Copies of this chain bind each other. A is one copy, B any other.
Amino acid sequence: MVTVAVDGNGADLGPAEVAAGAELAAASGIHVLLFADAAKVGSVAGSVEVIDAPVSIAKAADPAYAVRATPEASIVQAAKAVAEGRAQALVSGGSTGSTLAAGLFNIKRDRGIYRPALALPIPRPGSRPVLVLDVGANVLCRPEHLVQFAHMGSAFARAVMGLEAPRVGLLSNGEEPSKGTPDLRDVHERLSGAEGAGLNFIGNVEGIDVIGSDRVDVVVTDGFTGNIALKLIEGVTLRTFAAVKAAGETSPYSHVGALMLKPALQALRRHSDPELIGGAYLLGLREVGVVTHGRFTRRGFRTAIELAARTVSEDVVGRTRASLIAAGAQRGAGTDGVPANPTAA
C-alpha cells in the first residue's frame, strides 16, 4: 500500500477539509499520514493517521529560511516522513515556496538531477490537459536544466497521464530551430540529438500551441516564462468566461439564451476545473511532491493524494532516472564537468 504524507495546514478551508479529502483517498486504498493541527482536524475515519503538527509556515515570507528554522512545521515534518521512507510521496496544502524548500532540503534531488521543476497539467477545453514545466521553481535555467525537464515531463506524462509517446515541445518564439535565445537553440540541438534519446521531441512550439492546438503534450520552458504563461492562461480564461456571461446580460433575448446554454457552459467549466488536476507536481526529487491550490475543497485534495500515490505505483522517479541515464543527460554524466549529486543515495 502506498503511503502519502500530507501537509494539512495552509488550505483556505482549513485542515478539516484536507482531512475529508484524505478520507476519500484512503477509501481507494491509500494510506495517509496527515500532518496538521489535530484540534482542527477532528476525528477521521479510514486509513488516515493524524500527526499533530499545529505550526504552519505556509504564509512565510522567506520559505527557505522558515523551513530551516522551523523543523516542527507541518510541511517540514511531512517532507521528513517521505525522506525517511515512512511515506512515498508528499502533498501540501497551499504554499509552493515552502513545499519546494522542504522538498529540496529533506527529500532532496534524485541522483543526476540538477534542479527540480514544477510541472502543471493545464486543462484544454475539449481536449486532454497539456503538461507545462517549469511553471515557477527556477527563474533562471541553463540548457542542461531544460533538457532534464523534457525527460521529467515525458516520464510523468507516460506514467500518470497515460500517454504512450508524449509529444515534447520547447516553448519558443517561432517553430524554426533558429528561433529563440542562444540557450534555447542549444536545448533544441541537444534534444534533437543524443540527449533527446527516448523522447518524442517535436521541436519548438509557439505560445499559440500551448492551449490553442493539440499538437503538443509536454511543453518545456524556464520557470519565469512558465509562470507568466500559466497566469496569462488563467487571466484570459477568466476574462473570456466573464465576457460570455456579460454578453448574456445585454438583452432579455440573450438572457434567455444564456440560461438555456448555462448547463453546457457549466460542463465546460467543470472540464477545466483545477480540482481534477490535483495540483502542480514537483519533479526531480527522490519522491514526487504535489502542491495543491489553497482554494481546493476535499475533492481537489482527494485527487492530489490519489495522483501522488499514482506517481509512486507508476514509478515516475525511476522512469525519469532511466530516461536521463539512457540519454546521457544526467548530472555528472561527463558532459558538464559537475560531479554527480552528492546528496543522492
Contact = CB atoms under 8 A, between A and B. Distances in A.
Interface stretch (A22-30, A192-200, A226-234): A226-234
Nearest to A232: B207
A339 interface: no
A76 to B, nearest CB: 23
Copies of this chain, complex-wide, total: 2
A305 B254 CA distance: 36
Contacts of A338: none
A236 to B, nearest CB: 4
A239 B124 contact: yes
Contacts of A268: 243-244, 246-247
A234 B260 CA distance: 28
A260 B171 CA distance: 39
A173 interface: yes
A238 B212 contact: yes
B173 A136 contact: yes
A312 B223 CA distance: 40
Nearest to A127: B239
A125 B245 CA distance: 11
Most B CB contacts (10 A, CB to CB) among A181, A212, A230 go to: A212
A212 B229 contact: no
Nearest to A261: B257
A344 interface: no
A233 B208 CA distance: 7
Given A126-B242, A244-B268, A268-B243, A236 B260 contact: no
A206 B212 CA distance: 21
Interface in A208-261: 208-213, 223-225, 227-244, 246-248, 250-251, 253-254, 256-261
Contacts of A126: 239, 242-243, 246
Contacts of A143: none
Nearest to A259: B257
Contacts of A213: 235
A265 interface: yes
Contacts of A125: 239-240, 242-243, 246
B212 A236 contact: yes
A14 interface: no
A208 B224 contact: no
Contacts of A140: 181
B225 A228 contact: yes
Given A174-B227, A247-B268, A250-B264, 15 more contacts: A124-B239, A125-B240, A126-B239, A126-B242, A172-B224, A206-B228, A207-B230, A210-B235, A211-B232, A211-B236, A212-B235, A229-B229, A229-B232, A232-B232, A247-B261
6 contacts: A174-B227, A181-B224, A212-B238, A225-B225, A229-B232, A254-B263
